Structure 1
Amino acid sequence: MLQRFAHLSPHKNMLLLSFLLPLFVMAVIYATMGVYPFGNSTLLTVDLGQQYVDFFSYYRTTLLSDPSAIFFSFTKSFGGEMLGLWAYYLMSPFNLILLFFPQSQLSMAVTILILLKISASGLTFAYLLISRFEGKGLLVPSFALSYALMGYVIVNQLNVMWLDGLVFLPLIVLGLEKLLSGENGLFYSLFLGVMLLSNYYIGFMICLFLIFYFVFAISRQQNSGSQGRKAQLKRLWAQTARFVGYSILGAGFSSVLLVPTFYSLLGSKASYANSLIDWSFAYDPAEVVSKFYIGAFNFDQMPSGHPNLFIGTVALTAYIYYFFHPAFARKERLTTLALTVLFFLAMNVQFLNKIWHAGQYPIWYPYRFSFTVCFFFLLNGFRALRAYRTFPLTLACCLLVANAVSAIYVLRKDFDFLEPVQVLITAVLAVIVLVLLMLRDQPRKWLAYALLFVVTAEMTANAAIDLFRLGYVKQDEFVDYQTNLNMMLADIRPAENEFYRIEKTFQRSKNDSFQAAYAGINHFSSTFEKEIPALFGSLGFPDGNGFIVYSTGTLFTDALFGVKYFIQDKQLPESFYDLNDGVYRLNRNSTRPDLTQYSPYSETDRTITYENPYALPLAFGVSASVLELQTIEDQPLLMQEQVLDAFNNQESIEPFFSLRPFDSNVFQNVSSTAADAQNTTYYRSVDGAISRIEFQFTPASDNPYYLILDAGIDDENATLYLNNVKLDYYTTYRNDQVINVASNQKGENITFTIELLEDSIRVQDLKLYELNKGLFEDAISARQAESLSISSFSQTHITGSVAIQNEDEVLLTTVPYSEGWNVTIDGEDAETTSALDGLLAVPITPGKHTVSLTYRTPYLHTGLAISGSSIVGALLLKKCSRKKRGQRPGV
């Protein structure tokens, strides 16, 4: 076994340098940035700070204390399957390092995780160059560093789960090269399977790239003159069959995760795909040249921008040189040129771009597959410099002219991510690199060191420029929130075999429940089942593709979803934070005067916790008419009214939510042509002056009052005030919201104000409703009488007893509907169905019953069987291969 790696022994220093050099460069940059423990900053920014770090906390909690949460967890919104989330975010083998850090040190664990992945990618690329492309000397770490610190890596390192693709791609290509040369294909299948297990999304892009790489590899093969066309076609067919067969075997290894994940995707990420075929360009094709300049990135390039293709001047020059290099066959170079054109088209043509992203246009982080293109450039650039020839003077002159033309072009286009100094530095580097390459025909040992120095300096500068342009979460702010959230939850966490939900009027991220391991409702992930945002959107909550925010609840929604405790932040003066060093203001996103209808339960210096007496259990009996309800859009209180009516079998005579008029409307510097103040477009009368619309009313009771806020009003066109205090609400949403504007304020003047930020604003369906609290209490009391009393609870298995009244025929749960849930009533399997387009419901007869709910991941056993069969097949292939070679087992 050791003999297989003996050929690497002379190159171990180059491998070690390929690992350590990117590690050192990035560590120095992080230290300069003041990343903890070198300062008070972290790498937590954008999705890494708002999603992944919370999932990492869940990862630790699950593996260390609650393994059942691997498959289903009530920390995901109001419950959700988890295998899809694991497959997309958490299956990297590198994540095991998180287990060695306490929760309070997660930010440092993430930093080390990123450093290890970046360094490992340099190591595996160097291993490929040495093992298959005769790599030796300092040229290997030079290109390994360009690979490890390419622009894609730097700007996407916050998407830490994608970095595994950079680590495993060289090993997969190495396996494919072995396969095509007639060696055993199991190396290829193994690492392809590992990649698909680690992150199927990036794995899909690699699989697509491998098809093109296969064509490229075939074009490199030299055909013997004695071989006829028929023999060549036979050889090509055999190689294609082996490529397809071993690729399927690799997918088979990972089927234990891929099969159930595919089912999960049908209800989440894949469900947002569309069949629109758009052949238009996303940008002027010439603009792509801007991304080859040093530091060609800023924050605006994240949501929408150009592909990240920066690989350094040495690598780019070498790749261009490849096409003029006589050591490579004309057929190969033409194939490479065709593939290069195809790659650039794929990074611009909308439809081709969508194919690379599995049929769905990416939301933020465009052209996520561009690392495969950079890999292709770097590999062939290395081959061009490795196959030594004198660098042509004519080509050098042409490149200098092209460099000048490119510089003039980008300066005239005035890209906001390129400063003139960046263009100048890149131009100077291009000249230096050309000089060094032309000097390579001289026996000067220092040239290799000079090239390595240029690569190191340029890749370091690019990384520093890109990273310093982003904003990051402070370490003490992150720890402060972690510590205080756990302290707030300490006395309200459910006891063993008890279940209820907890929510807040503030958040650090939508995944706070993952960070602190409690059952909440907020959630944000790419694997979120689409039915849940649709349901919450219809009830008046902010929602979108992949997220919901429980910021606009009512007494009824709190009751429905079993929110037993609600934590509200106090409105503290600025001096409080000035006097308490390291204490940060909580990010309030909800206005809930109706929390005063609940009983204060506990208090800290920053929060008050309320106990909700109306909270319903996880399951309760209701009328069968709830099964007939369908969600409706942009009428959230009508939707809530219908659900309450259905609970009581339409027996309510009075409405739960009654429409109330505004007492008066006051206009300041605005005009309108419509008579209806709640349905019109308002225009600013005098430019530059404050323009406001005030809606005033006086509550006739202490009941809660709710306002429907049109989805067209947001923080870009208006600032909202309640009684002259800026309204706290979540400003990104696609459906009408329900805003609580009064509670326990009988006889007080209430003013809701819209201040225009633009010259006009459309106000429509601005309606005020009063909740009949007495009627609401009666309806909820009837449901509480039919509560499921839980005797045993885990994330995937719940048992309890319930007493159903004569008029009710459905056991409604606030568990997302899924085929994975099996329900038994009195030991007999019960038929499950979906209520409200997303809740698990079970028909049930009146009387006392024992109920059991068990979750089993759909198609997990199917995937396990395929993976098991693939492993057995691989072992048989290996045995047959040994017999064919006449080797003894164990050699």
Structure 2
Amino acid sequence: MKFKINSYIKKHLLLLLSFWIPVVLMLGYFIYRKMFPFGNSSLLTVDMGQQYIDFFSFFRNTLLHDPSNFFYSFNKAIGGEMLGEFAYYLLSPFNLLFLFFPGKSITAGVMLVTLLKYGCSGYTFGRLLKKQKVQSGALVPVFATIYSLMGWAIANQLNLLWMDALVFLPLIINALLNLLKKRHGVSYSLWLGLMMISNYYMGYMIALFLVLFFIWVETDRFVSVKHFFKDTALFISQSLLAAGIACLVLLPTLFSLQSSKGEYTTSVIHAKIEYPPLQMLSKLLVGSFDFKQMSTGLPNIFVGSFVLFGFLLFFLNKNVKSKTRIVSLVITAFLILSLCFEPLDLLWHGMQFPVWYPYRFSFVVSFWMIYLAAINYQHSLDVSATKIVLLALIYAGIIFASWMNLKKLSFVSKETLICSTLFATATLTPLLIHPGEAKKNLFNKLLLLLLVVGAEMLTNAVLSLNNISYLSQKEYTEPTAALSSDSRSLKAIDSGLYRTGQTYSRTKNDGINHDLNTGSYFSSALEKSIPDFYGQLGNPDGDNYVTYSNGTLISDSLLGMKYFSTPKEASEITAKDQQHKALTPLTIRPELQQYDQIRDKSLTKLYENPYAATLGYSANSALKNIKLPNNDPVNYQTAWLNAATGTWPTTKYFRSQNFNEVVFQNTDKTVNLTGSLLKKKNKKEPAQVIFKFTPKTNDPYYLTFGPGLEETNVETFTGSHPMYHYGTFRNNVILNVADHSKNTEVTLTAKFKKNSLFLDNFVLYQLDSQLTKEKLKQVKQKSWHVKKINNRYLTGQININNNDQIFATTIPYSKGWQVKIDGKKVPAFKLQNSFIGTNISKGHHTVSMKFTPPYLYTGLLITTLSLLLLAILEVRHYKHFRAK
């Protein structure tokens, strides 16, 4: 057994090193940074902490507890299809490891998966070099380490779902080269198909790069025009077969994209250079990444000085055919232009500008540079003195250009310039030394290069990642524990289908993490109609997120927000729970006093909304044709309730109120607040406006305001406490500022953060709670008594009292839903440009709804046929081979 192990290690030593060197280097860094489970920090930062970690928990819950989540989930905002979300975020085979990391330990799972992706990237690239005989010996793990720890990988470590591209790309390239050599091979179609399934977004970028790589290979191996066309036909057919294999995922996802990311496709393209191209050179230096680079940065193309020098030398290498070098230069020019020219940049990103993380395709540029450098060093590591001087001058030019941009580029510092110069010098030195034929001298040279390369790549990782802050393990686990506890309590109280509002949160994806239908969500694949609806309703929204933080009695009840979870103030936490820090509120909701408190937990309170409807109700047919107001949440909610109850347009629930007193400090006074632009008198002094009013009733009071009052412009207070509300929004929002405050003065303060403040749609309203509750009770009494079989199949009973009624839901409209009344399929239509509705007759009915992702069965058929065709081709090839 010991002999077999030793024999295996000796045979596969280079690939083992290719895997383990990156893993050990990054593990050492994680331990140094005390990342959990080695300390109190974590790898959670930006989207990893705000988005992906919740998706990983959702993935685990779906596989272990509720597979119907794979197709549809009410945890997604107010409901939405999930196959597109899985295709974008969760189909990586590595994610299966999260099944072994429940609860707070999932942060350790994130570290394990991250390390495995680093290691597997090194392994697959080393395997490519060995199989294609591009490199052998110690240089295999050298290049593998550079590839797995390239600048793109370090910068996008937090985008864990994209790192599969680094693992799959060398496998696909190796399979393509074998396909073109042997004129046969199923592995190319399989690996490319699996990449498309794992992450179609990165797969699309790889597919574009494969076209360039195919051209390069055909140029290098050109025999005849006839041979070229045969290879082209083979390449296209096998690539289409790969797409066919992935159709089970791609077709439903394509339909999903039409209502989500597809809605934001850029229609106007500017033929412009996006930034001074010479600034790109600074990204070749050590530590060329920081937080600012995430949002509007330059492409991440750091590959280390050894590769940079080898890449440059490739174009001077006479051992490489002239035509190959010329085409390589053309492709390189195209790739460089793609990194700064808007039309090409858009092409690589599917005709959409990235929201943060620009130039996401730059990993293929780095692969290209590393692969050409490996070819250059294929024959010898010896470099002439003339070329060394040339390389030194070029690198000095890069250092000088970066130094000139020292004040413009936040990631460039004197330290990074010095480190880069030292590593470049340390790399050039062994290249200049020619050890002759002695194996010992050559071994020493290779060992020195490996040490220099390892040190340079690790230094880049340390300097880059040290520029980013991370969540502590406690910052993740404490609110997560409270949310999990609330979820368990609510399920013990009520096992039905309902939505749950929250006035505290960890992220907008708390719902999918804890199986709570919170109404909030953050995803790049969010359907456009959902944020559009939230914007009309008076809640914060963006292109890829919604937050149900600004509810009212009306919106809570019509949307079926049956329960609410709120954090206790520090003074309310008992002595035995004092070791836990009070949870930070997301928003203020004084009107929850109108609801019934049902649980008093250690850190939270749970309330039940007695006026909440279910997800379906009997509504007046006026709701079908009503034209709802735009960007006016008060009138939108009024019109919705009136149309649903058949009292449109006569009944008013909100009444505008005047402030008793407005105090202007260091700004001009104005009588008409709404639409006023207030400016500082003295720009050097602080300015604020204080609004005072005394409610005459115990009704809820609401304030509406526009984007001029978002958190970048103003700091708001209720009395001496912060006025908690979600700080970023693009439409007018509505906020509950008082309830049960009769004859008690309420003070609202707005402190300027800039020199001016725009009071857009700034109006105070009183809600007639008695009248509102009467109307809401009518809706609740006519609700659909829904029974949730699973997330994609609902059924229940409903009574329709009049013939002028329709069956209305607050389930987002999608062609995937099929509605049946008393077992008969009925056509559905869109209500409020958002929801599903159907016509229905008077009487008692059973209404059933079933969701099937559009094109799912078509995709399954194409995938099955593609795999069958692949199997037939393999069998034919095997028979032909046996016959020969």
Fold shared, TM-score > 0.5 on shorter chain: yes
Counterparts of 1:47 and 1:508, CA distance in 2: 13
Question: Which residue of structure 1 aligns with residue 291 of structure 2?
Answer: 299
Whether 1:707 aligns to 2:703 is yes
Partner of 1:142: 142
Aligned partner letter, 1:70: F
- Residue 747 of structure 2 corresponds to 751
Q: Where do 1:430-579 residues align within 5 Å?
A: 430-440=424-434, 442-443=436-437, 444=441, 445-493=443-491, 498-572=496-570
2:112 maps to amino acid? I
Structure 2 counterpart of 1:878: 874
Equivalent pair of 1:696/1:751 in contact (CA under 8 Å): yes
SS in 2 for 1:854: strand
Q: Residue in 2 aligned with 1:265?
A: 257
1:84 to 1:677, Cα distance in 2 relative to 1, 3 A? same
C-alpha separation in 2, matches of 1:833 and 1:497: 29
Q: Which residue of 1 aligns with 2:834?
A: 838
CA deviations on 1:19-47 (whole Å, 9 max, x unpaired) are 01101001100000001111011101111
Are residues 61 and 286 of structure 1, via their aligned partners in 2, closer, same or farther at CA, if it must alter by over 3 Å? same
Distance 2:791 2:174 in 1: 42
Letter in 1 for 2:59: Y
Matched, 1:156 2:150: no
With 681-690 and 545-554 compared, the bigger mean Cα shift is at 681-690
Query: Where does residue 329 of structure 1 map in the other structure?
Result: 321
User: 707, 712, 716: which is aligned to 1:716?
Assistant: 712
Which of 566, 579, 585 is residue 588 of structure 1 equivalent to? 585
2:419 equivalent in structure 1: 425
The structural deviation recorded for 1:437 is 1.2
Which residue identity does 1:421 align to in structure 2?
E
- The 2-side partners of 1:485 and 1:496 are apart by 16
Structure 1 residue aligned with 2:660: 663
Work out whether residues 345 and 352 of structure 1, in 8 Å CA contact, stay in contact via their aligned partners in 2.
yes
Counterparts of 1:389 and 1:522, CA distance in 2: 57
1:818 alignment partner, SS class: coil
CA shift at 1:288, angstroms?
Answer: 0.4
Q: Which amino acid aligns with 2:219?
A: S
Q: Which secondary structure state, in structure 2, belongs to the residue aligned with residue 609 of structure 1?
A: strand
Query: Displacement, 1:190?
Result: 0.6
Contact 1:499 1:793 (C-alpha < 8 Å) held by counterparts: no
CA contact (8 A) 2:487 2:515 kept: no
Aligned 8 A contact 1:591 1:727 in 2: yes
What is the CA distance between 1:134 and its match in structure 2?
3.9
The equivalent of 1:627 in structure 2 is 624
Q: Deviations over 1:778-829 (max 9, x none)?
A: 2111111211112453111111100012154211111111111111101111
Shift of 1:405: 2.3
Q: CA distance change for structure 1 residues 885 and 134 in 2, over 3 Å: closer, same or farther?
A: same
Q: Which is worse superposed, 398-407 or 590-599?
A: 398-407
User: Cα distance, 1:212 vs. partner?
Assistant: 0.5
- Give yes or no for contact 1:817–1:839 (8 Å, CA) kept in 2: yes
- Paired residue for 1:799, among 795, 798, 820? 795
Contact conserved, 1:630 with 1:837, CA < 8 A, in 2?
A: no
- What per-residue deviation string (whole Å, max 9, x for no partner) do you get for residues 683-716 of structure 1? 1122333311122222121111111111122222
1:614 corresponds to which of 611, 614, 627: 611
The answer to whether the aligner puts 1:23 opposite 2:23 as a matched pair is yes
Deviations 1:122-176 (A, max 9, x none): 0000000000134211100000000000010011011111011000000100111
Deviations 1:525-547, CA, capped at 9 Å, x for gaps:
11111101100111000000110
**Cα separation, 1, equivalents of 2:747 and 2:723:** 11
Q: CA deviation at 1:602?
A: 1.1
Distance (Å, rounded) in 1 between the aligned partners of 2:64 and 2:454 = 40
What's the CA shift string for 1:544-582, capped at 9, x where partnerless? 01100111110111101111111111232599899944x
- 1:367 aligned to which of 356, 359, 364: 359
Give 1:641-720 correspondences, 5 Å limit: 641-651=638-648, 653-671=650-668, 675-720=671-716
Deviation at 1:11, TM superposition (A): 5.1
Contact 1:494 1:500 in 2 (8 A): no
Q: How does 1:368-387 map to 2 (within 5 A)?
A: 368-387=360-379
Q: Which moved more, 1:680-689 or 1:587-596?
A: 680-689
Aligned to 2:74: 74
* C-alpha distance 603-115 of structure 1, shift in aligned 2 (>3 A): same
Distance 1:658 1:239 in 2: 74
Counterpart of 2:36 in structure 1 is 36
**Partner Cα separation in structure 1 for residue 787 and residue 274 of structure 2:** 57
| TM-score after normalising by structure 1 | 0.95
Once the two structures are superposed, the pairs formed by residues 203-282 of structure 1 within 5 Å of their partners are 203-223=203-223, 232-282=224-274
How far 1:752 sits from its partner (Å)? 2.0
Aligned letter for 1:850?
Answer: T
The CA deviation at 1:494 is 6.5
In structure 2, the CA distance between the partners of 1:134 and 1:342, relative to structure 1 (3 Å rule), is closer
Q: Please state whether the residue corresponding to 1:298 is helix, strand or coil.
A: coil
Distance in 2 between residues matched to 1:358 and 1:694, nearest whole Å: 48
Q: Indicate conservation of the 8 Å contact 1:594/1:740, yes or no.
A: yes
What secondary structure, in the 3-state scheme, does the structure 2 residue paired with 1:622 have?
Answer: strand
What is the match of residue 124 of structure 2? 124
> How far is the alpha carbon of 1:69 from its aligned partner?
1.2
Give the aligned partner of residue 63 of structure 2: 63
Aligned counterpart in structure 2 of residue 340 of structure 1, from 323, 332, 336: 332
Contact conserved, 1:151 with 1:308, CA < 8 A, in 2? yes
Contact 1:75 1:518 (C-alpha < 8 Å) held by counterparts: yes
Instruction: Identify unmatched segments of 5+ residues in structure 2.
Output: 1-6
Contact 2:529 2:833 in 1 (8 A): yes
- Normalised to the residue count of structure 2, the TM-score between the two structures is 0.96
Distance in 2 separating the partners of 1:193 and 1:577: 57
Please tell me the residue identity of whatever aligns with 2:485. Answer: M
| Residues paired across the two proteins, number | 872
196-205 or 874-883: which moved more? 874-883
Q: Is the 8 A contact 1:623 1:807 kept in 2?
A: no
3-state DSSP of counterpart to 2:346: helix
Correspondence for 1:601 = 598
Tell me, in whole angstroms, the C-alpha distance in 1 between the residues paired with 2:867 and 2:647. Answer: 58
Q: What is the Cα-based RMSD across aligned positions, in Å?
A: 1.9
Aligned equivalent of 1:48 = 48
Q: 2:3 matched to which residue of 1?
A: none
Q: CA deviation at 1:629?
A: 3.2
Report the Cα distance in structure 1 between the residues aligned to 2:627 and 2:91, rounded to whole angstroms.
37
Cα contact 2:125–2:147 (8 A) shared by 1: yes
Are 1:535 and 1:631, in contact at CA under 8 Å, matched by a contact in 2?
no
Residue in structure 2 matched with residue 357 of structure 1 by the alignment: 349
Question: Aligned partner of 1:818: which letter?
Answer: S
| SS of residue matched to 2:298 | coil
Q: Equivalences for 1:801-840 in 2 at 5 Å? A: 801-806=797-802, 808-840=804-836
Supply the distance in 1 between the matched residues of 2:680 and 2:571 (Cα, whole angstroms). 33
Q: Would the alpha carbon gap of residues 215 and 420 (structure 1) be closer, same or farther in structure 2, given more than 3 Å must change?
A: same
The answer as to whether partners of 1:8 and 1:130 remain within 8 angstroms in 2 is no
For residue 570 of structure 2, give the secondary structure of its aligned residue in structure 1. coil
Secondary structure of the 1:469 match is coil
| Paired amino acid for 1:531 | S
Q: Please state how far the C-alpha of 1:887 moved relative to its aligned partner.
A: 5.0
| Contact 2:573/2:602, CA 8 A, preserved across alignment | no
Greater Cα shift, 857-866 or 467-476: 467-476
Counterpart-to-counterpart distance in 1, 2:231 and 2:710: 58
Give the distance between the partners of 2:708 and 2:341, measured in 1 at CA. 31
| Residue type at the aligned position of 1:650 | T
* CA-CA distance at 1:10 after TM superposition: 6.8
